[in-house]
Structure 1
C-alpha cells in the first residue's frame, strides 16, 4: 500500500461575514495516499472549495494541522497544482505558451516537457492555437497540462468540468483518468455530480452541510476503465446518493425550531 502523502488533522476554518462569524469547516480528519484519486462531494456551501484552497496553501487562516509529504503547508508551491472551473488561460498566448506560463520555451528542458504534455492531453496540432480557437474541453486540457508542468505532488481540481456539456464532460473524465494512470499524480477532485465522483475516484469523501465535516468515506472498489451502466457502478452510485439524501434530512432536523 502506498504511503500517506497528505495528512489533515482537526482542520477547522471560519470566516467573518456581515452576519457574524461563520464556520466553514469543522475538525476535518483525512489521510490521502500517494497516487490516490479522491473525489469530494457534498451540498453547496459545505466547504469543498475552502478545503482545496487550504491544501493549495492559498488560505493559511485555519486551525488544525495539514502536511504534505511530512511538511507543514505554509503557502502555495510547485508541489501543488490547482485547476479551477474556468480554464483561466491567457488569451494573448498560444497553447504551448500557456502551458509554459512564466517559463521560456527556448529552454530545451521546458520545450521537451511542454511537448510531452501536449501529447499527454491530446492537443497535438494545436500548439500555436489561441484560447479563442479552442473548445471548452480543449481549454481545460491546456489548464491541466499547465498545472502538471512542474510535476506537482498533488493536483487539486475544483469542479473543472462543471461548465462543460455532458458529452464533453464524459470525454474529459476519460482524459483525466488517462493522465492519472500515466503520471500517478495524487488528485483531489471537487464535484457536485455523483456519477462523476464514483466514476473517477478510489474513494469518495462526502461532506456534511456547513460547517463542513466528513459524513462518510466510500471506497470505490471498481476496476478501471469503468462503465456507468453496470450494476456494480449503479449500486455504488445509489450508496453515495443515499448518504447525500441523509444529509438533507440532517439539515432539516438541525434547522427545526430555528
Structure 2
C-alpha cells in the first residue's frame, strides 16, 4: 500500500428536514491508501451510508474536501464502483451480459475480462443464467464483477451482505477477500457487523452517531486467511467493541449484533 488514494478533510454534512437541520457528519478526516481494505462500522444513523455516497460522488452538497487520486470528487464516475445493499441487475440479461452491460461481448478484450471476472467471483457455469435463477449471494457477485470490469480506483460497498443468511454471508466474505487479494482494488466497506468488519479489514473506522464523527480507527494487523475463532481475532474484536463503550446500551447491542 502506498500514498493515500482517498483523502477526506474536515467533511461536514447536514440535511434540512421539516424539524430543522440535522447534522449527519461532522469533522471527518480520513485517508485511505491505495490497495487498502477499510471497513466502516457504527450504529444506525451515524452517517455510514452518507459518507459512502459522498465519496462516490452521489452527494456533492457538503462542506469540506474529498479527493480521489488527487482530484476533487465532483460527481459519479467509472473510477468509483458502488455496490448497493441489494443487487441491481437487469432481469432480462444473463450473468455475462449483466457484467458487460454497455460493453460488447463481441470485443475480444471485453470477452476475456468478463470470463476472468466470472472465474474470480466463482460463477463459472452460470454465464448464461438470468438473475431470477441466482441466489442473493450470486447476484451480488455479479454486481461486484460488473463494477470491477470498469477498473475503478476504489470499490465502495454499502452493507452488501446484510440481507444474506449467515452461511452465505460468510462465504461472500471469503469471495470478496479473494477478489481483493487478486485485484488489489482499494475497498471501503460499510457494515453493522463487528465480526465482518474485523475479518475483512486492514483498518476498522468506528463512527459515533448524531452527528457522525470518527470515534476511533483500529488497525487489524492479522495475516490472511483469518480465523474468527482464533485468540488474536477475538482480542481485536473486543478492542473494536470497547470503542463503543460510550454509546448507550441499545446502540451497543445493535452495533455488535449481540
Do they superpose with TM above 0.5? Answer: yes
CA distance in structure 2 between the aligned counterparts of 1:78 and 1:194, rounded to whole angstroms: 30
Structure 2 residue ranges without an equivalent (≥5): 252-258
Mapping for residues 130-209 of structure 1, pairs under 5 Å: 130-209=130-209
Mapping for residues 81-100 of structure 1, pairs under 5 Å: 81-100=81-100
**Who is 2:128 aligned against?**
128
CA distance in structure 2 between the aligned counterparts of 1:34 and 1:141, rounded to whole angstroms: 22
The 3-state SS of whatever aligns with 2:45 is coil
CA distance in structure 2 between the aligned counterparts of 1:119 and 1:245, rounded to whole angstroms: 43
TM-score, normalised via structure 2 length: 0.95
**Who is 2:70 aligned against?**
70
The 3-state SS of whatever aligns with 1:244 is coil
Structure 1 residue ranges without an equivalent (≥5): 252-258
The 3-state SS of whatever aligns with 1:160 is coil
The 3-state SS of whatever aligns with 2:89 is coil
CA distance in structure 2 between the aligned counterparts of 1:162 and 1:210, rounded to whole angstroms: 23
**Who is 1:256 aligned against?**
none
Shift of residue 4, structure 1, vs aligned partner: 0.8
Shift of residue 186, structure 1, vs aligned partner: 0.3
**Who is 2:3 aligned against?**
3
1:41 aligns with 2:41: yes
Shift of residue 107, structure 1, vs aligned partner: 1.7
Coordinate RMSD, CA, aligned = 1.3
Shift of residue 247, structure 1, vs aligned partner: 2.3
Large movers: runs of 4+ above 6 Å: none
**Who is 1:60 aligned against?**
60
Count of paired positions = 251
1:230 aligns with 2:230: yes
CA deviations over 1:54-106 (Å, ceiling 9, x no partner): 00000100000010111000011111000011011111110001001111111
The 3-state SS of whatever aligns with 1:109 is helix
**Who is 2:80 aligned against?**
80
The 3-state SS of whatever aligns with 1:64 is strand
Shift of residue 108, structure 1, vs aligned partner: 1.6
Shift of residue 246, structure 1, vs aligned partner: 2.2
